[in-house]
């Protein structure tokens, strides 16, 4: 597979040369992110799912047989993977990308792996330009190209990565050195999980005591309790307008098991920071129980249904 360098103009007029983009990890988030890159550049992809690869091939990508084949055909490699151990396997395992990375390659990891893991991986990739760039916004924002990227990198690496990230998101924030993006991300998801549980309980109290869910949500969303979990991603079915997981049986979106993983990373970060997490520990236990009940694949907003069905007095 040959990759020719392309020169193109971004939305804001920024121009740069690309030696081809590699993208590894084509789940609900990664597949949507990669499709925005395909509109502007030649992209070679890899995933363990043949169906995901076929979908991206239909969108215009070239498919590789392994991570190292991706590395052979790009100078910018983006990863969007479910955990730190999977990222390490992609880079350092059999057929891993590190064997064929070009000198000076730009490596952008958009996975959520936590600050401790990010530092470890970056140390092993010190001969390349590495940045951690976890995202916020979920699948809808990935599809719309409006993600927020929280980036940890040296200044020059951030400037090199920003044009690529801008193709997939509308907010690209330099949070500090390597691992800072992960720190901000786990802090965000700690807050998100806790707020989702609180909104679920509030919606259940109100509706069980006779309030119309749409009226209740409308009041919450114009009052001091307003938050993203209430006004954009409300866990009560059809309480707000929009195609969100609660309106389709808690399918798609951000899985309970992924939120459980992120809360574990937040707990790890809390230990590193010397903070005894209380709300975070409660949220982690809640999502652990939800997962153990066989709901690990449900969207994390399905915590409302779990509370309603399993935690009644």
Known catalytic residues are 185
Phi, psi values for residue 80, rounded to 5°? -140, 90
Report the DSSP beta bridge partners of residue 135. Answer: 149
Q: Could you say which DSSP state residue 255 is in?
A: B
| Rounded alpha-carbon distances, angstroms, from residue 244 to 107, 216, 234, 249, 305 | 32, 18, 8, 9, 15
- Assign residue 49 a region: left if phi > 0, alpha if psi is -120 to 50, beta otherwise? beta
DSSP 97-148: GGGGPPTT-EEEE-S---HHHHHHHHHHTTTSEEEE--EESHHHHHHHT-EE
DSSP H or E segment with residue 5:
none
């Amino acid at each position: 597979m040959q990759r020719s360098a392309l020169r193109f103009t971004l939305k804001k007029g920024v121009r740069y040369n690309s030696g081809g983009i590699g993208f590894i990890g084509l789940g609900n988030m990664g597949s949507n992110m990669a499709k925005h890159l395909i509109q502007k550049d030649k992209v070679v992809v890899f995933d363990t799912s043949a169906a995901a690869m076929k979908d991206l091939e239909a969108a215009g990508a070239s498919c590789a047989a392994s991570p190292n084949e991706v590395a052979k055909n790009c100078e910018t490699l983006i990863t969007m993977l479910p955990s730190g151990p999977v990222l390490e396997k992609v880079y350092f395992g059999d057929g891993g990308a590190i064997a064929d990375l070009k000198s000076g390659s730009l490596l952008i990891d958009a996975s959520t792996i936590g600050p401790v893991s990010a530092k470890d991986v970056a140390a092993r990739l010190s001969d390349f330009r590495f940045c951690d760039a976890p995202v916020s916004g979920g699948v809808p924002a990935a599809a719309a190209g409006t993600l927020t990227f929280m980036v940890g990198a040296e200044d020059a690496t951030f400037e090199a990565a920003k044009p690529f990230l801008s193709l997939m998101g509308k907010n690209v924030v330099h949070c500090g050195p390597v691992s800072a993006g992960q720190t901000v991300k786990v802090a965000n998801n700690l807050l998100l999980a806790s707020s989702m549980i609180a909104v679920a309980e509030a919606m259940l109290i109100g509706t069980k005591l006779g309030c119309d869910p749409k009226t209740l949500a409308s009041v919450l969303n114009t009052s001091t309790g307003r938050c993203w979990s209430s006004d954009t991603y409300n866990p009560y079915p059809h309480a707000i307008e929009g195609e969100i997981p609660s309106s389709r049986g808690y399918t798609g979106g951000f899985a309970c098991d992924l939120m459980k993983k992120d809360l574990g990373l937040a707990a790890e970060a809390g230990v590193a920071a010397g903070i005894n997490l209380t709300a975070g520990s409660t949220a982690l236990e809640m999502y652990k129980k939800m997962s153990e009940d066989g709901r690990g694949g449900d969207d994390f907003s399905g915590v409302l249904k779990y509370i309603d069905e399993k935690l009644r007095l």
